[in-house]
Structure formats: structure tokens, C-alpha cells
Amino acid sequence: MSCLAIIFNGPKTKNGRRLFEHFVEANKGCFWNRELVEAVDSLIFMGFMRPTTLFVSGPMIHLQALRTAWARRVLKPAEGYSITSLGKFFRSEMSNLESGSTAASTLLLNLLA
């Protein structure tokens, strides 16, 4: 499975799971676009980065359906938000780093770049 990063614009939130659930609900009502409904039903919440970035995973065909819906301006954001970008996110391995270390700062800068 691959991952997508969905970046929203809107109020800052501390609860990524809730933002994910609202995003899925907003797109389940697209009864005329069965592929989109199947895609959001299959999404797996992988994570969240403040202030408003979701990381989701699912079968490639369903992630492609999300990208297509985004390109056609059919993909709906969670209520109160807009989607500013959507893109492929490559998983990376995590390892523990000492807080305040140069390696931790370098890693953070690379993730945000």
C-alpha cells in the first residue's frame, strides 16, 4: 500500500482522527461517483501532522481515485476546511533520536522541505 498526504487549510486541530473521519464523511455522499465512495471507504488513517496534514493509505486503485477526484475538483474537504494539496507520501522508517540533537533537527528540516 502507498500513502497520500492531504493538506488542509482551516482551523488548527489537535485531533487528526476526527479530521480524517469528517473528510471521509464529506465524500461518502458522492453517490454519483461510486469510485470515490469506494476509495474513501477503504482509506486507512496512517497519521497526522499539525496543523492540518493527514496521512492516509489504501489500495493503489483507490488512492488513484482520490487523486482523480482532486484533479476534477470533486474531492470534498472536511467541513470548515479546504484542501490545499494532495500528493504521494513515501513512508520512511523511524528511529529514536535524542531531543535537541543535530540529527533530530536535520530530520525535521528534511521532512518539512
pLDDT per residue over 62-86, tens digit each?
999 999 998 999 999 999 999 999 8
Residue at 45 is within a domain: yes
- Read off the CATH number of the domain in which 49 is found: 3.30.70.1890
Q: Cα 87 vs. chain centroid, distance in angstroms?
A: 8
User: Residues with Cβ < 8 Å from 48, sequence gap 6 or more?
Assistant: 16, 17, 19, 20, 54, 55
Higher pLDDT, 30 or 18: 18
Residue at 67 is within a domain: yes
pTM of the model: 0.74
Residue at 17 is within a domain: yes
Radius of gyration in angstroms for the set of CA atoms belonging to the chain, rounded to a whole number? 15
pLDDT per residue over 34-62, tens digit each?
899 999 999 999 988 888 899 999 999 99
The three cell numbers of residue 103 are 540529527
User: Could you tell me the residue range of the domain that residue 12 belongs to?
Assistant: 2-92
How many domains does one find in the chain?
Answer: 1
Residue at 14 is within a domain: yes
